[in-house]
Structure 1
Amino acid sequence: MNGSTIIPIAVLVIIFGTVTTIVASYFKLQRHRADAAALAEYRKLAEQISVQQETVSAQLAELGDRVKAVEKLLHSVG
């Protein structure tokens, strides 16, 4: 091969490498966006669960107080 055929081949290799890099970067960006959306949904669910857990905790504390009141009443009667 002489110098006149090497230059077009080198240019094509460089263009192919550039296009490949751009396509790979695009798909990596799309995957990152999907991961970010999933993480946002998980954060939202975690906040909802936290609120629900606090509600259940408050209800359990109230039930514990009621049970103590019933036990006190039973001890005073018995």
Structure 2
Amino acid sequence: MQEQIASKKQTVLAAIPEECRESLDCIGAGLDRVMALLEVESECSEACHGIRCLVGMIKAKLEQTAGELCPRE
């Protein structure tokens, strides 16, 4: 069973194009910009602070998944 899972994981990793990591990095950079804007606005709005926290969690999950799918060499 473990061998089947490992084999399927290798198949998925082999199917990911090289540009995938670059695209994920661009998305992460965009989220950084959104978070910076929300940081400024969160000083005046509690709702913006909550949204900033949510975007931060999404970015962290994106980075974790990107690291698993497209590890840096």
TM-score range, shorter chain: 0.3 to 0.5
| Structure index of larger Rg | 1
Structure with higher RCO (Cα < 8 A, 6+ apart): 2
TM-score by length of 1: 0.35
Normalised by the length of structure 2, the TM-score is 0.37
More helix per residue = 1
